[in-house]
Structure 1
Amino acid sequence: MASKKVLGLTAATAALVLGLTACGSDGGEGGGGDAGGGGEEFTFGVLYPQTGSLAFLGPPQITAAQYAVQEINDAGGILGTEVPDIVEADEAGDNAQANEAANALVADEVNAVIGAAASGMTQATYDTITGAEIVQCSGSNTAAELSEIEDGGYYFRTAPSDALSSIVMARTIADAGHQNVAIVSRGDDYGRGYADGLQAELESLGAQVTVNETYDPEATTFDSVVNAVSGDEPDAVALIAFEEGAQVIAQLLESGVAGDQLFITDGLNDAALGETVNADDPDSVNGITGVAPSADNPEFTEGLTSFNEELDVFQFAPQVYDCVTAIALAAEAADSVAPSDYVAELPNISRPEGTECGSFAECRDLLADGEEINYQGVSGNIDFDDNGDPTAATFEIFHFGDDGHEILAYEEHSVDG
């Protein structure tokens, strides 16, 4: 069966042949635009959580996008035209509001949408965005199900799928010597998909999964899953959660689970987790270890910090930066701001066969010289596959200890092992 990307590129080619535009024919500031540079502006929209349970991810998302745009403009803009201010929209962690925000971005005729932050919010909005033939790229979506959505070929992500993240988590747990593991996860597509992948990998490593329970993320108490864990007495507990997981952690610790038995995912990768779990005893989280997509790139972190000195959360910032830069390079390669034109170039700008380059300016100049390029993202090598997924990623193993939140190691992993 043809991949969704192949189908999408066929549609894009048809759109080009017919001279169609996605969102009107206003001369090119919007989603459709006309082929060719022509001084047209390329406008980015960002769909991110300004409010809601993942609001802590909002600052790194918008800051990284703005930083990427500044560097693009410092290099002369996209197709020689300065990129205007980003159009911001709040997905708020709510399906209805997220889709309303997505509709607003489509109405604004942006040329690309960065986001949403959470996989569930992308599930709620991708049809609105990609259905309008606007490219959508998320730097933080990880749900495995997003590889197979019917997006017409317009959805991409620079964060790795949970199919890969769950493998890294399982190996981290097994390497710590744990053999009897309980899995507790959100009762949604993200939680269940991650949990299933984690169980499969743990069992392939010889560990036994004694509990695999889900919970309602809107619940106010989590007695059922906590009782299931404490009754089984596993030697490790994997928690797949967002912000509500802080309460799950609090109840697990109260039930007798020790911090060094707990392993958490990126939704809880927050230096202030201890305060959230127990403001009276922030050190109660000491011993907890987690796994999150990341980037081993101090130069980027330094540059982003200089750009916004108040930024104190950096999670997924490199991946968001790479979404913006990859899209800009695709527009350069296509000589067009129209998504229906440049979408076909997105997989091409990171192919291994091309000349490696690491910035918009460097890669743009190579394209101008007629060379094929292999954009090396600040988050690592992207190399989009036919589903718009990265085929390799860097993960950080983070930990809470006497010195607070710290990164123990960075690890490179790819889909082929």
Structure 2
Amino acid sequence: MPSKKALSLTAMAAALALGLTACGGGGGGGNDGGEGDPLQFGYVFPETGDLSFLGPPQISAAKYAIQEINEAGGVLDQELPGILAGDEANDAAQANDAAGRLLDQDVDAVLGAAASGMTMAIIDRVTGAEVVQCSGSNTAPDLSTYDDGGYYFRTAPSDLLQGPVLGQKVVDDGNQSVAVVYRADDYGQGLAESVATSLEENGAEVVLNESYDPMGTNFDSVIQQVSNSDADAVVMVSFEEGVQIITGLIEEGMEPSQMYSADGLNNENLGELVDSGDPGVVSGFQGTAPGVDNPEFDEGLTEFDPDLEVFQYAPQVYDCAMVIALAAEAAESTDPAVYVDQMTAVTQGDEQCTGFAECRDILAEGGTVDYQGASGPLDFDENGDVTVASIMIYGFAEDGTHEAQDFVETTPEGTVE
């Protein structure tokens, strides 16, 4: 099966035409003659809505990357202008409108969306306009083979990498019968399938595998199904609606130590959301999320934004911006239709480097770079996916404090020992 990155010229032309139509036939196709224009970033992140806790770390990381790039002299000796904002709000229509406004302002790259479902809402519009899109938090497996014309990349690992780590953790804790409940969307279904497969491969029985409407207001049915299953543990692939499920399961007599989740509930304030008067009620709750043990990056981002409390996906978004900037340097162009060909190359070159200035100088001397990201080695494959991922196992202490318990490096071939 041919790679999704090998789109034919005919299909590419059709995609471009679609993108121009979607943008009213005016701008929106990136900066024309981009070689002479400064690199313009835009983002589509959740500033409002039930995923708004993911917005601040991603927005700050993007701005932090731009500041570092500008302190190093900018891209192609031009300072990057301020990033243009767009709110996805975990609403498909609003996310699409936000992407359209960015394209109308001739952005050269779009960072985001944060949620896989919101990327599905904007990807045709962005990549069809031949603008590079890079997400630091999309994990839905279906995005790997999505027909994006070669313009979509992600620095977060597919749930095909996270699922086995979560499944292994649940079994390692001694659970033999497991209920899996998940939100009925691309993210929920993809991760739930990956986790269920891992559980069964590790000898556990999946006694319940049930989806639910994430837009619902009452989750009593799914709570009762889990309770009636008599499972040793439950895996919830949820966003903030999972707070209601956790609360209901506790009321049914289930212990938080029997509950597991993933990045959608990796919220440092989870205890307060479940019970503001007793955050320790979630003590023992565990989960997995793409995450890295990189205190140097965390310190730098904290110095840049002292008010930042949540760091989830910040390194991955930072890396999106850095790779795009390096690709433009390598291509000697800020036109996304030109620099897109260097996106994978700057993660697989001959000389390893970390900061923008170090990598840029190697390129200027005629070398090729293997950018080592804040989120780890990237090594984009033909689908724009990372091939090595760091997964954090998180939990909550007796007082409800969020803590990183371990970090596991994994590849499509399995966990790296």
1:30 and 1:195, CA in 2 relative to 1: closer, same or farther beyond 3 A? closer
**Residues 127-164 of structure 1: CA deviation (Å, up to 9, x unaligned):** 11111000000000011111111111100000000111
Asked if residue 172 in structure 1 is aligned to residue 134 in structure 2, the reply is no
Q: Which amino acid aligns with 1:385?
A: D
Alignment partner of 1:34 is 2:33: yes
The residue number in structure 2 matching 1:235 is 232
Instruction: Measure, in 2, the Cα distance between the counterparts of 1:104 and 1:199.
Output: 40
For the residues of structure 2 that align with 1:206 and 1:194, how far apart are their CA atoms?
A: 19
Instruction: Please name the residue that 2:275 is paired with.
Output: 278
Tell me the TM-score normalised to structure 1 length: 0.94
Q: How does 1:301-340 map to 2 (within 5 A)?
A: 301-340=298-337
Report if the CA contact (8 A) 1:134-1:340 is conserved.
Answer: yes
CA contact (8 A) 2:29 2:129 kept: no
CA apart distance, 1:7: 2.0
Q: 1:14 to 1:47 in 2, by over 3 A?
A: closer
Find 1:226's aligned residue among 223, 228, 232.
223
Question: In 2, Cα distance between the equivalents of 1:335 and 1:292?
Answer: 36
- Alignment counterpart, residue 341 of structure 2, candidates 337, 340, 344: 344
Distance 1:264 1:196 in 2: 14
Partners of 1:50 and 1:25 in 2: CA distance: 28
Q: Is the 8 A contact 2:395 2:404 kept in 1?
A: yes
Task: Tell me if the contact between 2:23 and 2:100 (Cα under 8 Å) persists in the aligned partners.
Answer: no
Gaps of 5+ in 1: none
Pair 178,305 (structure 1): closer, same or farther in 2 beyond 3 Å: same
Q: Does the alignment pair 1:291 with 2:288?
A: yes
Contact 1:23 1:32 (8 Å CA) reproduced: no
Matches within 5 A, 1:3-402: 3-7=3-7, 31-34=30-33, 36=35, 38=36, 40-351=37-348, 353-402=349-398
Shifted more, 223-232 versus 97-106: the winner is 223-232
Contact 1:29 1:41 in 2 (8 A): no
Distance in 2 between residues matched to 1:9 and 1:271, nearest whole Å: 47
Q: Which amino acid aligns with 2:306?
A: E
Gaps of 5+ in 2: none
Amino acid at match of 2:33: D
Corresponding letter in the other structure for 2:32:
G
The structural deviation recorded for 1:109 is 0.6
Q: How far apart are residue 243 of structure 1 and its match?
A: 0.8
Shift of 1:284: 1.2
- Matched residue count: 408
Cα distance in 2 for partners of 1:23, 1:273 equals 40
- TM-score, normalising length: structure 2: 0.94
Segments ≥4 residues shifted beyond 4 Å: 8-15, 22-26
Cα-Cα RMSD: 2.3
Deviation string 1:357-407 (CA, Å, 9 cap, x unpaired) is 001110010011111110000000010011111111111111111251111
CA distance in structure 1 between the aligned counterparts of 2:79 and 2:158, rounded to whole angstroms? 33
- CA deviation after TM superposition for structure 1 residue 354, in Å: 1.8
Q: 1:93 to 1:24 in 2, by over 3 A?
A: closer
How far, CA to CA, are the matches of 1:8 and 1:142 in structure 2? 26
Identity among equivalent positions (%) equals 54
Distance in 1, matches of 2:191 and 2:199, equals 12
Does the CA contact (< 8 Å) of 1:113 and 1:136 recur in 2? yes
